[in-house]
Amino acid sequence: MSDRKKRSKPAWLRMPTMGAEGAAEVRSILRKHNLETVCSQARCPNMGHCYQRGTATFLILGSVCTRTCGYCAIEHSACPPPPPDPDEPARVAGAAAEMGLSYVVVTSVTRDDLPDGGAGHFAKTVSEIRKLLPEAMIEVLTPDFRGAETSLQIISDASPDVFNHNLETVRALFPAVRPEASYDLSLEVLRKYGRMSPSTPLKSGLMAGLGEEIEDIRKAITDLREAGVTMLTLGQYLQPTSEHLAVDRFVHPREFDEWKAFAESIGFRSVASGPLVRSSFHADLSFPASDGAHGGLSE
Ligand code: SF4
């Protein structure tokens, strides 16, 4: 894992500047509904692009996380953050309706301070969106809820269309990258959810460029497939600030193509793999056409 000095980005990581109109409209809707997005909180390089497309990933349960992942720009705190705002689910639904979204992605900080880890708040947000946008697809990108079946069941009972939980990195790098999480626990969360809701596509994501061995990326892709995941995102890690983990290397787009081909060869139905790919980047476009959702390797 290299020192924390910022590196200059190669050409393939320079995002073309997008027209501002669509983005400005999204920002004003978010302000009006007093909402956060992971796009802005995590300093996503695609924010302008996605806002211009009229999409955004809503961040619920506040903007302060109880964990300290080494790659994440979201504010952390050891003290319990403020309690969830009971009106937030309805505000998310209101904003999604005003944005005219057909695919809504909802994510959150990790709230290890809450008895259900915030699962009830996620479920309420899904049902509020369903009231205003009955036709919209809803993807939830959740924390690991420390693997609690009760929390996963609450989410499953709300029937989101896609269940997403990011593995983020390879097993060897977990202590540095996700110190409060566990590689096996995250895989188990996906497996458990798959058992609870066999017809819901499972999705997960990985970052590259943090110092992982190339073979470890293939192993992580295989482990995700064995856990029943059929939708995968792979992107380049970018250092949000000099306080965060440094980029070990900028992965060439060719390698992302190779990982995409490998993932598809072992049965993933939807693979978005590229330097600027993020877990909900073009999420609306990556929903697989009717598939068997789960099932074993190399069907
Ligand atoms: S758990 Fe999520 S929000 Fe919290 S620090 Fe880690 S990546 Fe960021």
The 10s digit of each residue's pLDDT in 60-107 is 999 999 999 999 999 998 888 999 999 999 999 999 999 999 999 999
Q: Quick check: CB of 74 below 6 Å from ligand 1? A: yes
Report the alpha-carbon distance of residue 135 to residue 88 in Å, rounded.
21
- Which of 69, 145, 245 gets mutated to test ligand 1 (max ligand atoms within 8 A of its CB)? 69
Examine residue 298 and state whether it is found in any structural domain, yes or no: no
Check if 67 has its Cβ closer than 6 Å to any atom of ligand 1: yes
> How many Å apart are CA 93 and CA 107, to the nearest integer?
14
What is the structure's pLDDT at 299? 39
- CB of residue 65 inside a 6 A radius of ligand 1: yes
Does any domain span residue 1?
Answer: no
Q: Among 182, 145, 139, which residue's Cα sits nearest to residue 270?
A: 139
94 CA distance to ligand 1 middle (Å) = 25
- 291: in domain: no
Is 171 part of any domain? yes
Domain contains 3: no
In-domain check, residue 281: yes
In this prediction the pTM is: 0.92
Structural domain contains residue 107: yes
- DSSP structural state of residue 236: E
Residue 126 pLDDT > 50: yes
Quote the pLDDT of residue 19.
Answer: 55
Q: Output the six-digit token pair for 47.
A: 């924010």
Ligand 1 atom having least distance to the Cα of 74: 8
Exposed/middle/buried for residue 282 (C-beta within 10 Å: 0-12, 13-18, 19+)? middle
* Of 141, 188, 145, 146, nearest in space to 160 by CA: 141
Helix pair angle (88-98, 20-32), 10° resolution: 150
Q: Between vectors from CA 100 to CA 279 and to CA 200, what angle results, nearest 5°?
A: 45
Domain tally for the chain? 1
Give the pLDDT band (50/70/90) at residue 298.
very low
Check if the beta carbon of residue 6 is closer than 8 Å to that of residue 244.
no
Residue 295 lies in a domain: no
Chain segment 164-195, per-residue pLDDT in tens: 999 999 999 999 999 999 999 999 999 999 99
Gap from CA of 71 to ligand 1 centroid (Å): 8
237: CATH: 3.20.20.70
Res. 7 pLDDT band, cuts 50 70 90: low
Supply 32's token pair: 């009006």
Q: Amino acid letter at 195?
A: R
Residue 92: half-sphere exposure toward Cβ, Cα within 13 Å? 32
- Across residues 29-34, what is the average pLDDT? 92
| CB contact at 8 A, 4 and 244 | yes
Q: What's residue 225's pLDDT?
A: 98
Q: Which of 40, 110, 169 to mutate to test the pocket of ligand 1 (most atoms within 8 A of CB)?
A: 110
- The CA 130 to ligand 1 mean position distance, Å, reads 27
Using the mean position of ligand 1's atoms as its centre, give its distance from the Cα of residue 3 in Å. Answer: 22
Summary mean pLDDT of the chain: 90
Q: Which residues contact 236 (CB under 8 A, 6 or more apart)?
A: 13, 207, 208, 209, 247, 250, 251, 275, 276
pLDDT of res. 39 = 78
Question: From the CB of 177, is ligand 1 less than 6 Å away?
Answer: no
Average confidence (pLDDT) over 121-133? 97
Q: Which range of residues forms the domain containing residue 153?
A: 11-286
CA dihedral 154, 160, 161, 165 (to 10 degrees): -70
Residues 156 and 162: their CA atoms lie apart, in Å, by 10
